[in-house]
Amino acid sequence: MAEHIAEEVGKPADAAARVSGRFSGVRDGLGLAAVVVFLVTALALILLVVGLSKRLARETIPELTTVPGGFWAVGAALGLITVFGSTAGLRAARPTADSTRLTRAWRAVLTAFCCALAFGPFLYLLSGLRSRNCRSSDCAYVPGTGPAFLTYAVTSALVGWLLYRRHNARAERLRAQERERMRRLRKRGKGRTRTARRR
């Protein structure tokens, strides 16, 4: 009798466990499907943006000959934009102790924008160079892209190196000031100790 009652009591529990397991499996399947759809959509958007930006770049690069200084000035300006975007992105990505959720979201958006500024000019000029294993006219070399790319590389490397040296010199100066301040504090502490001992 007791065994029969235990079996009757255990049946609803087993049924609830089976239903819970089914719902858990469905939920996991839906989650996996959502992740796959998100990845496919993101990949399609990335390919669309890259294709449109490449077409736009190949159509606008020849118009840069009208800029004063030609492709050399354009390459230098794009190099400065890359350095500015990289520097601003590194500063925006620094974590802060008292940051709120809104501040972190704003910093994430700002970092993404700065990364676009940093890599955008490089991809823009890269679109004008001849693509490998492509015989279409859309992959042909755009005249003037080579000098612009060279000026871009030299400008970004030189200005980036100068900013790096300036940052290191400033950090070393701050460390020296901190060491001097600590030395003065230690000297004051020793002087007070000697005065107290004399008393």
3-state secondary structure (DSSP) of residue 93: coil
3-state secondary structure (DSSP) of residue 142: coil
pLDDT of residue 154: 92
Rg (CA), the chain: 31
- The phi, psi pair for 142, rounded to 5°, reads -90, 120
CA 195 to chain centre: 57
For helices 145-198 and 70-92, angle between their N-to-C axes, nearest 10 degrees: 40
Tokens 């800029």 sit on residue? 67
Asked whether the beta carbons of 88 and 123 are under 8 A apart, the reply is no
Where are the alpha helices (H) located in the chain, listed in sequence order? Answer: 2-60, 70-92, 101-126, 145-198
Other Cβ atoms within 10 Å of 187 Cβ, number: 10
Asked whether the beta carbons of 139 and 57 are under 8 A apart, the reply is no
Per-residue DSSP letter, 94 = S
What are the pLDDT tens digits along the chain (199 aa)?
Answer: 544 444 444 455 555 555 555 556 666 677 778 888 888 888 888 777 777 777 777 777 777 767 777 788 888 888 999 998 888 888 877 777 667 778 777 888 888 888 888 888 888 888 777 766 566 666 677 777 888 888 999 999 999 899 888 888 888 888 888 888 888 888 776 544 444 545 5
* Distance of alpha carbon 38 from alpha carbon 31, whole angstroms: 11
Amino acid found at 86 = S
